[in-house]
Amino acid sequence: MKEFIIAPSILSANFARLGEDTQKVLDAGADVVHFDVMDNHFVPNLTMGSMFCKALRDYGITAPIDVHLMVSPVEDLITSFAKAGATNISIHPEATIHLDRSLQLIKDQGCTAGIVLNPATPLDHLDYVMDKVDIILLMGVNPGFGGQSFIPTTLKKLQQVKQRIVESGRQIRLEIDGGVKVDNIAEIARAGADMFVAGSAIFGQPDYKTVIDAMRKELAGVNHG
């Protein structure tokens, strides 16, 4: 398992040139494409459906696509995103009545499965699904928009989830999404995160490689336990 993964959120990419901009950020050194799906119901914003994911695959994007479903209900979209070329699909426990079944559906569709916890969502949701998840994604902001500030209490939550992952004995990625920047990525990594979603910090700069290199430089000083 690669030590640290950088996953730019294409929520902040140039939507008019999505294929080109996605390839550009991968060429700049990103590992994974983070793909935010919002329905203006579960969260107050509206973004991309599965046809955008398929369009990226058709364009020639071969990197893993990490789909974050901020939608309710989730099950129909799990199936359509799996068919459209998603690698991982992550869902919020509040968005499904049957969390275990929805996670199993993701696996049955041939994808890895993630659970996403909002800043105020308790860790109890992890209790009976640790054996079904490949990724635990903690939101560092309230979902819906890029460009928000990282909520500091997320650091303690990361430490608590990291402890649970260690105790589970499973290889589960601890992903963080929201407010990740060059100047806080090391602190977030020290709290336990090993997969970093960053939207505005990367796409807001003209040279993506400079930002990604700076993030990797910060991470190089962190001992990933």
Ligand X SMILES: O=C(CO)[C@H](O)[C@H](O)COP(=O)(O)O
Nearer to ligand X, 174 or 197 (CB): 197
Nearer to ligand X, 71 or 103 (CB): 71
- State yes or no: 144 annotated in a binding site: yes
Determine how many CB atoms are found less than 10 A away from the CB of residue 142.
14
User: Is 189:224 a contact under the CB 8 Å cutoff?
Assistant: yes
- State yes or no: 178 annotated in a binding site: yes
Nearer to ligand X, 46 or 166 (CB): 46
- State yes or no: 66 annotated in a binding site: no
Alpha helices (runs of H) in 61-98, residue ranges in sequence order? 75-83
Residues contributing to the site for ligand X (CB under 6 A): 9, 11-12, 34, 36, 68, 141, 143-148, 177-180, 197-201
Closest-CA residue to 99 (of 145, 133, 65): 133
How far, in Å, CA of 190 to CA of 65, rounded? 25
- Would you name the residues annotated as active-site residues? 36, 177
- State yes or no: 225 annotated in a binding site: no
How far, in Å, CA of 100 to CA of 36, rounded? 22
Binding residues for substrate: 9, 68, 144-147, 177-179, 199-200
